[in-house]
Amino acid sequence: MFCEKSIELIRELQRMRDGQLPAFNEDAVRQVLEEMKALYEQNQGDVNEAKTEGKSELIPSIKLRHCCLLRNQRCVAAYLYDRLLRIRALRWEYGSVLPPNIRFHMCAEELQWFNQYKKSLANFMRSVGGEEGLDITQDMKPPKSLYIEVRCLKDHGEFEIDDGTIILLKKNSQHFLPRWKCEQLIRQGVLEHVLS
């Protein structure tokens, strides 16, 4: 059956949850391209024969192959484009440096696309609203004006809070800090939320 491999590519992504990037299926893409080459060459031959020898009975199979060619093209493009959307989302999730296990799943051209995307986004953010620019990958959640009690799990050094005060994050010290300022440190395991 024609187009089986290309449907496999689509299925592969559909099985994945949003945000997951499976390894680039170079093998399947190559096989689809090979099938397309074969279909095209057969059609070239049949078209010539149909023209020179007037074999109109060849026309249906030419049409069928052509439909398969279009379908293959469409599936491969959809596969590649959907992966780009996932890769784009990674920039927003991880920042401009991707973890090695994710890079490992990308092909060389995808890495190029990612680097160019990073550059375009950085240019955009630098030029927004005058000289200063604005990093719009920050402030993803509304700020909270609330404070929480946290305990320091390891030495982290100096830390500036919203009113400009600098505090020293020393192991086992306890602090009363703006929640949105600590969220990242809590995720990193530097602080823990003390529940009273």
Partner 1 sequence: MDPSEVEFLAEKEVVKIIPNFSLDKIYLIGGDLGPFNPGLPVDVPVWLALNLKQRQKCRILPPEWMDVDKLEDVREMERKEESFTPPPSPYYMELTKLLLNHASDNIPKADEIRTLVKDIWDTRIAKLRLSADSFISQQEAHAKLDNLTLMEINTTRSFLLDSLNCMFKLRSNMQPGSGTGKALDY
Partner 2 sequence: MSDALSDGGSDHDDSQEDVMTPVELIAKLEEAWLNEKFSPDLLENKSEIVECVMEQLTHMEANLQRVSKGDTKASVHRMEIDRIRFVLSSYLRSRLQKIEKFFPHVLEKEKSRADGDPSYLSPEEYAFAREYLANTETYLKAVALRHMPPNLQSVNMMKAVPEPCLDSFVFLRVKERQDNIMVEPETDDQREYVVDLEEGSQHLMRYRTIAPLVSTGAVQLI
- 89-118 footprint of partner 1 as x/- string (CB under 8 A): ------------------------------
- Give dist(CA 102, CA 150) in Å, integer: 33
- Give dist(CA 185, CA 192) in Å, integer: 8
Q: Which of 11, 37, 151, 171 binds partner 2 (CB under 8 A)?
A: 37
**Closest distance to partner 2 from the beta carbon of 34 (Å):** 9
Region 52-81 residues binding partner 1, contact defined as CB under 8 A: 73-75, 77-78, 81
Question: Per CB under 8 A, does 47 bind partner 2?
Answer: no
- Give dist(CA 101, CA 104) in Å, integer: 5
Q: Which of 82, 43, 88 is nearest to 61 (CA)?
A: 43
Taking CB under 8 A as the binding criterion, the range among 10-18, 47-55, 94-102, 112-120 that sits at the site for partner 2 is 112-120
Q: Which of 72, 84, 73, 71 is nearest to 24 (CA)?
A: 84
In 83-164, the DSSP E strands lie at: 147-152, 157-160
Q: Which of 70, 155, 193, 194 binds partner 2 (CB under 8 A)?
A: 70
Centroid of chain to Cα 55: 49
CB 150 within 8 A of CB 174: yes
Question: Per CB under 8 A, does 129 bind partner 2?
Answer: yes
Question: Per CB under 8 A, does 48 bind partner 2?
Answer: no
User: Rule CB under 8 A: which residues touch partner 2?
Assistant: 29, 33, 36-37, 40, 69-70, 73, 76-77, 80-81, 84, 88, 107, 109-110, 112-113, 116-117, 119-121, 123-124, 127-130, 132, 134-136, 138-143, 145, 162-166, 180
